[in-house]
Amino acid sequence: MTYYSLNKLAPNTTFKEAVIKGLAPDKGLYFPQSITPLPKAFFENIDDLSYTEIAFEAIRQFVTPDIPESVLKAIIAETLAFDFPVVQLNENISTLELFHGPTMAFKDVGARFMARCLGFFNKDNTNLVTVLVATSGDTGGAVANGFLGVKGVNVVILYPSGKVSDIQEKQLTTLGQNINALEVQGTFDDCQDMVKRAFLDDQLTSQMQLKIGGAHV
């Protein structure tokens, strides 16, 4: 799969490079160059498929050939290692509950998948990747848990002092290893602004490989 920057001022790239870089050189988000609709048979037989089988068919086109299918299946199995039931609210409305993961945050799914993809790409890489995250609570915990112990990845989380719950702060600050949490005297917007300024700092980005976390994970 080929990806292009939404700012359209950077060269096209692969899924691997998009994952490692996070943002394009023109500071745009990467987007698939084309999306092939899933076949009708997929939807006709979806009730007979497991969650992991559904996920594999849905995401395969976006990551191959950068991740072999056997590795992708293993990543998906590790990502979806907890229950996320569809709960019916009424006759016409159902909701997908994504808060049954290790940090009780809906971003557990995305963070775990991205962490394992980056871990696969970085397994033979000697260059340290720093994942920089601004969080108001749930994002940071999910990213921290997802990337915990991933080789070659350092996580730096900025969170506003006194504006996250006690359990969220413990999720951010007690893991150790490659997870570093910094308490900021300010608001979430201040934390987010610091992350944005870091990615716009050419001197900083020329000396270390930064990847944005949080909302774009």
Q: What is the pLDDT of residue 214?
A: 53
Which residue positions in the chain have pLDDT lower than 70? 213-217
For the domain made up of 111-217, give the CATH fold. Answer: Rossmann fold (3.40.50)
The residue written with tokens 């930064």 in the block is 210
* Nearest CA-CA partner of 208 in 146, 127, 134, 148: 127
User: Is 151 among the catalytic positions?
Assistant: no
Q: pLDDT (tens digit, 9 = 90+) per residue, 155-166?
A: 999 999 988 899
Longest dimension (CA), the chain: 56
Q: What is the pLDDT of residue 215?
A: 42
Residue 197 phi, psi (nearest 5): -65, -35
Q: What is the pLDDT of residue 125?
A: 74
Tell me whether residue 55 is exposed, middle or buried, using C-beta atoms within 10 angstroms of its C-beta: 0 to 12, 13 to 18, 19 or more: buried
Q: Give me the catalytic one of 40, 73, 107, 163.
A: 107
Q: How far apart are CA 54 and CA 68, in angstroms?
A: 17
